[in-house]
Structure 1
Amino acid sequence: MDGKCLCGAVSFEIEGPLPNLYQCHCSKCRKLSGSSSDTATFLNRDQFKWCSGLDVIQSYRMESGYRSDFCQKCGSSVPHLMDNQKQYWIPAGLLDEAGNEKVVAHLYVSHKAIWDVLAGQGTQFAEMPPMDELNQLLQIKRNS
């Protein structure tokens, strides 16, 4: 599976199956996406490979540790290696192909915008669940 930013300058490959997805409804992810939530997943480091564009990636980090990497040319959010150094954060909108992944978790639903309507049947978390719990949920494949 391949992915790229809006202008195509940053591109990457994913080996193996993609985990399911989550949507984060916190205020930071809403600002990052410009929408009701950010849809993404976490991928093991050994499944991810950069193809192009490392030289055009800019990183922004808040004092809280919140991080956003983006293409300097088009502004698209792009994957980044997480602080645990074991996983990449993958924005779902960059993927070229749609698989059978489903949104299985909604994070920070207690912070969602008043106009945000949750779609699907994913597990709802008022705040951020423990990473082990979220990773386990993302790995469970559900029937269509």
Structure 2
Amino acid sequence: MGDDVLRGSCLCGGVAYKADGPVKHTSHCYCTMCQKQHGAASGTYANVARATFAYERGEDLVTEYASSDHGRRGFCKVCGSTLYWRSTQAEGRIAVTLGTLDPAYTGTVQRELHTDTKPSWLPVK
């Protein structure tokens, strides 16, 4: 899979989306909000132009949670799958979760964010 079109869906299959265009960057975010949202060590994202993001089905099943004064997290209200994170300060970008992509993303993760709260229980590289 190249960086031209990303397609993703939630766990229950009710929501499907696509984003056209190149991935600006990919990241593991270790902030405590991403840890709580994902129930994991990090949230892993592909940052793309928001203008290229579109729902293919299930937009009515998506809701957002304002996790901070500048961040919104979109998820399926049926199955709870986290679909994206977006900043209200950078309206032109959206970060889709790599774990929801169909097929799986084949690129590499380029950045680690908020490493000061990276869990100590992660394996050593």
Q: Give TM-score scaled by structure 1 length.
A: 0.72
- Which residue of structure 2 lines up, in the alignment, with residue 140 of structure 1? none
Judging changes above 3 Å, is the alpha-carbon distance between structure 1 residues 81 and 112 closer, same or farther for their aligned structure 2 residues? closer
Give the deviation of 1:79 after TM superposition.
2.7
Whole-angstrom distance in 1 between the partners of 2:67 and 2:25: 27
1:4 aligned residue (9, 16, 36) = 9
Whole-angstrom distance in 2 between the partners of 1:81 and 1:111: 20
Larger radius of gyration: 1
- Which residue of structure 1 lines up, in the alignment, with residue 39 of structure 2? 34
- Which residue of structure 1 lines up, in the alignment, with residue 3 of structure 2? none
Tell me the amino acid that sits aligned with residue 27 of structure 2.
Answer: Y
- Which residue of structure 1 lines up, in the alignment, with residue 114 of structure 2? 108
Q: Percent identity?
A: 29
Greater shift in the superposed pair: 54-63 or 6-15: 54-63
Give the deviation of 1:55 after TM superposition.
0.9
Query: Which one has a larger percent strand, Structure 1 or Structure 2?
Result: 2
2:20 aligned residue (3, 6, 15) = 15
The alignment of Structure 1 onto Structure 2 pairs a total of residues equal to 119
Partner SS state of residue 103, structure 1? coil
Judging changes above 3 Å, is the alpha-carbon distance between structure 1 residues 103 and 28 closer, same or farther for their aligned structure 2 residues? same
In the alignment, is residue 98 of structure 1 matched against residue 125 of structure 2?
no
Query: Which one has a larger percent helix, Structure 1 or Structure 2?
Result: 1
Whole-angstrom distance in 1 between the partners of 2:105 and 2:45: 14
